[in-house]
Structure 1
Amino acid sequence: MNTINASSISMTSPGEGRPSFASPYADPSAAGELLRATGIGARALRAGSLAPFGTLLDARGGSVAMSDAWRDGPAIVLFIRGGWCRACSLLLRHWREHGETLRALNTTLIAVSPQTPDLSDQTATDNAVDFAMLSDPDLAAAKGFGIAFTLPPDAVDLYAANGMDVPVLNGNGLWVLPVPATYVIGPDGIVRYAYVEGDPTPPPKPEDVLFEVEERFGWQ
């Protein structure tokens, strides 16, 4: 795995002055190396796979069945690191502009991170999103999709040195994160589209993902 250095990070102050951290794995070459080194690229769920069933937590800590998202129509599931991740926050902000199209396609959008429910709620507020921000603190969903990985020592040192105590932010005591990923899942629970950060193709824009939904399910 590539050595991570301080040039890989960026600190900003979005929403209420809270710091945001650009993960060292946001760089395409580093993300691609991560997939190769950990085997995530091979084990991550891809189109044609059955999405796992499990529960997530809402902002109040209540249990939500993940399959509820695609019960009545297709769903887009965004796996993000957390609100502290600058790239993740930018992604959420891009998606908040597409509510009208999502409704026209009868498609549910959810964002999933391992951070605690209160931090997920804060992330939704900071980024002014109107879709569900759900917590996966035990990383059961991330593991089910095959995208959870344990941070190596050099990344742990870098995160910790910049005030990103991942085990505390996630409330689980673990230096484990999901690789950011985007999935489209049909009402039958079958994955119809998958992108995992580090894939050889460029990261999809919301418009690209919505096109995939339209191609597979049409306008409702």
Structure 2
Amino acid sequence: MTTTTHPLAEQLAEYRAGFQQKVPQDAQNTMAAATDALEASGIVNQALTVGDQAPNFELPDATGKAVRLSELLKQGPVVINFYRGEWCPYCNLELRAFQNLLPEFKQAGANLIAISPELPDHSLSVTEKHSLEFSVLSDVGNKISRQYGLVFTLDASLQPLYQSFGIDIPTNNGDDSYELPLPATYVIDQAGRIRYAFAEADYTQRAEPQDVLAVVKELAS
């Protein structure tokens, strides 16, 4: 009997456990309450899902070069990963996990792109820091994330807390809206149809890259 491995889920759980040991309980309670409220808002039900047509877009990569979804789809399926920003350790673990499987995604004919609302300088920083070999795009103002139904405003209770952690979202994003995308991953086929969708109000939960790869391989066959 084969057992399915969930390497990213294990890394996320390990990080979360370490975080809980270091951070005061009242801060953890504030964060948990904000996550519960976001889940209760039903935002996940507004996100695009399997069977929906993926909106086309053009966004700049870390070097300012325009990347267009419709052009990438001519080459094969596209995996899109929406992440909150370079300041988010869960996002960084996820981006690295996708990077580790990049050769297999390429072998299956898929392109991989990551999208955050951060300014291009921060996209460049995350690309260099984690040696990412796929495009990291800047969706300033969350215009594309909004089309995918992923945008929310960071709870007011979390804004000073994040600042105390040294996280300056207004500077990173170039505005003071505190709008962020839900962490989400999509697989889009060459007809522009969403074939896999993962969107989660709890930012500590992410799509398992192995599961995403399995969908891409199925499309390839």
Normalised by the length of structure 1, the TM-score is 0.80
Structure 2 residue 76 is the aligned partner of structure 1 residue 90: no
Give the whole-Å Cα distance in 2 for the aligned partners of 1:107 and 1:95: 12
Higher helix share: 2
Q: CA deviation at 1:190?
A: 0.7
Q: Which of the residues 40, 48, 58 maps onto 2:51?
A: 48
Q: What's 1:3 paired with?
A: none
Give the whole-Å Cα distance in 1 for the aligned partners of 2:120 and 2:82: 15
1:132 maps to a residue whose letter is S
Give the whole-Å Cα distance in 1 for the aligned partners of 2:81 and 2:160: 27
Percent identical among aligned pairs is 35
Normalised by the length of structure 2, the TM-score is 0.80
Structure 2 residue 220 is the aligned partner of structure 1 residue 218: yes
Structure 2, gaps ≥5 residues long: 1-18
CA RMSD, aligned part only?
A: 2.5
For the residue of structure 2 that corresponds to 1:160, the secondary structure is: helix
Indicate how the Cα distance of structure 1 residues 203 and 116 shifts in structure 2: closer, same or farther if over 3 A, else same.
Answer: closer
Q: What's 1:168 paired with?
A: 171
Q: What's 2:40 paired with?
A: 36
Q: CA deviation at 1:169?
A: 0.5
Q: What's 1:76 paired with?
A: 79
Q: What's 1:188 paired with?
A: 191
1:35 maps to a residue whose letter is E
Structure 1, gaps ≥5 residues long: 1-6, 12-21
| Residues 172-206 of structure 1 deviation map (CA, whole Å, 9 limit, x = unaligned) | 3321000100000011111111001248xx74321
Indicate how the Cα distance of structure 1 residues 41 and 136 shifts in structure 2: closer, same or farther if over 3 A, else same.
Answer: same
2:52 maps to a residue whose letter is S
Deviating more after overlay: 119-128 vs 157-166: 157-166
Q: Which of the residues 130, 144, 167 maps onto 2:147?
A: 144
Q: Is the 8 A contact 2:105 2:216 kept in 1?
A: no
For the residue of structure 2 that corresponds to 1:154, the secondary structure is: coil
Q: Which of the residues 124, 130, 133 maps onto 1:121?
A: 124
Q: CA deviation at 1:9?
A: 9.7
Give the whole-Å Cα distance in 2 for the aligned partners of 1:59 and 1:100: 21
Q: CA deviation at 1:8?
A: 6.3
Q: What's 2:70 paired with?
A: 67
